[in-house]
């Protein structure tokens, strides 16, 4: 079974994380940020070390361990009951991040919509990222050279992800708007996506209790 997914797409600093966190509060939507997953690793673990090596230069971590980390994280979310693949939709933020990742994930996710948080002037993102560096403890946001490299990586590798999906799935959202209006643009589209046809099983705690009572 493929996981239902919505992709939050855009250059570093476009606001994918901000929107992902808010949207992930809506019942049946689960936010997954690959950057957060990497930052959650112990820096003395093998993959943690690989992450620091690449991220500190503004480069992408190799595809294989990245997809593996994503799959393991999703399995973890399922195991602890935070993601129910039958009823929920994953909000993928930061993954897939190049054409190869999109190809690998093709068999694993069913993409319902892609939000391209575009920014006409990439330089605006540099300012945003520097501001973020002060608020969050992010090595890769602190250095202008690393930021420029990340924007280059985005242009060189990540933009191509959009070509891997049918145009009708892609929704352009102006990321220079205030977060509230970006959110509004996204919600208007999400509200029109048909809900999954879920099985008769309980999807909430209350339903589970009522089913259990009927069973006895
Ligand atoms: P941003 O979108 O602001 O650049 P993220 O938090 O998404 O930042 O990612 C931070 C870093 O983590 C990236 O620069 C890259 O090194 C690594 N990373 C995150 N997601 C991926 C991915 N899907 N593939 C490879 N590397 C990734």
For domain 3-215, which architecture applies?
A: 3-Layer(aba) Sandwich (3.40)
Could you tell me the distance, in angstroms and rounded to a whole number, from the CA of residue 60 to the centre of ligand 1?
6
Residue nearest to atom 5 of ligand 1 (CA): 35
Tell me how long the chain is: 216
CB atoms within 10 A of CB 87: 17
Cα distances (angstroms) measured from residue 138 to each of 55, 100, 134: 10, 27, 8
Say which residue, 168 or 207, is predicted with more confidence.
Answer: 168
What are the residue ranges spanned by the domains of the chain? 3-215
Mean pLDDT, range 63-69, rounded to an integer: 98
Mutational pocket test of ligand 1: of 35, 100, 101, the residue with most ligand atoms within 8 Å of the beta carbon: 35
Q: For a ligand 1 pocket test, name from 94, 97, 159 the mutation site with the most ligand atoms within 8 angstroms of its C-beta.
A: 94
pLDDT at position 199 is 53
Distance 214 CA to ligand 1 centre (A): 48
**In which element (H, E) is residue 31 found?**
strand 29-33
Phi-psi region of 41 (alpha: psi -120 to 50; beta: other; left: phi over 0): beta
Looking at residue 202, its pLDDT comes to: 56
8-38: per-residue pLDDT in tens? 999 999 999 999 999 999 999 999 999 999 9
Cα(153)–Cα(155) distance, integer angstroms:
5
Determine the atom of ligand 1 nearest the C-alpha atom of 95: 23
Greater model confidence, 215 or 154: 154
- In the chain, the DSSP E strands lie at 3-10, 29-33, 89-93, 109-118, 170-174
Q: Are 37 and 48 in contact (CB under 8 A)?
A: no
| Location of structure tokens 């009708």 | 168
Res 134 pLDDT > 70: yes
The SS3 assignment for 84 reads coil
Give the lowest-confidence range in 56-70, 90-104, 142-156, 199-213: 199-213
Around ligand 1, the residues with Cβ closer than 6 Å are 12-13, 34-35, 38, 54-55, 59-61, 66, 94-95, 97, 101, 140, 150
| 112-124 residue pLDDT tens | 999 999 998 888 8
The pLDDT score that the predictor gives to residue 17 is 95
């Amino acid at each position: 079974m493929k996981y239902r997914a919505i992709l939050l797409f855009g250059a570093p600093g476009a606001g994918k994380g901000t929107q992902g966190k808010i949207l992930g509060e809506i019942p049946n939507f689960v936010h997954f940020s690959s950057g957060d997953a990497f930052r959650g690793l112990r820096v003395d673990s093998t993959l943690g070390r690989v992450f620091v090596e690449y991220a500190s230069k503004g480069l992408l971590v190799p595809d294989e361990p990245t997809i593996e980390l994503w799959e393991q994280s999703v399995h973890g979310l399922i195991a602890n009951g935070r993601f129910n693949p039958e009823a929920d939709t994953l909000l993928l933020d930061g993954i897939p991040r190049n054409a190869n990742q999109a190809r690998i994930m093709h068999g694993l996710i069913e993409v319902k919509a892609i939000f391209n948080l575009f920014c006409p002037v990439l330089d605006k993102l540099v300012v945003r990222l520097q501001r973020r560096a002060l608020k969050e403890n992010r090595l890769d946001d602190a250095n202008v050279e690393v930021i420029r490299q990340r924007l280059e990586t985005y242009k060189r590798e990540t933009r191509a992800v959009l070509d891997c999906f049918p145009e009708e799935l892609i929704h352009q959202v102006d990321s220079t708007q205030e977060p509230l209006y970006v959110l509004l643009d996204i919600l208007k589209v999400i509200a029109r996506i048909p809900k999954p046809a879920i099985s008769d099983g309980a999807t909430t705690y209350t339903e589970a209790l009522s089913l259990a009572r009927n069973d006895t």
